[in-house]
Amino acid sequence: MATYGQIARLAGLGGQARRVGYALSALPENHDIPWQRVINAKGEISSRAEPHYENIQRTLLERERIIFDSKSKILLRRFQWRA
């Protein structure tokens, strides 16, 4: 798991987490980029213009054994990628 801000910093775009979100939303179908592993800094799946993707993302993460708490948050201390 990584946050949008974390990916932005790694790309040299500190403070531009939204750009990461826009880039991920523009991915073509049938790509192999693990977009589902990018969440917001609160440990939540971010809302989208097409809400069914939120359910798809959660399902994909649960298949990868990512655990959500009772508030639908992911414990970043446990699952976040450390670079």
pLDDT of residue 48: 83
Q: Which of 41, 37, 36, 45 is nearest to 77 (CA)?
A: 41
- pTM for the whole thing? 0.90
Q: Which of 23, 13, 17 is nearest to 5 (CA)?
A: 17
Q: Which two tokens stand for residue 75?
A: 């414990």
Quick: pLDDT tens for 60-69. Answer: 999 999 999 9
In this predicted structure, the answer to whether residue 75 has a pLDDT above a threshold of 90 is yes
Q: Which two tokens stand for residue 36?
A: 């589902």
Buried b (16+ CB within 10 A) or exposed e, 3-23: bbbbbbbeeeeeebbeebbeb
Q: Kindly report the average pLDDT of the chain as a whole number.
A: 94
- Tell me the domains of the chain and their CATH numbers: 2-79 (1.10.10.10)
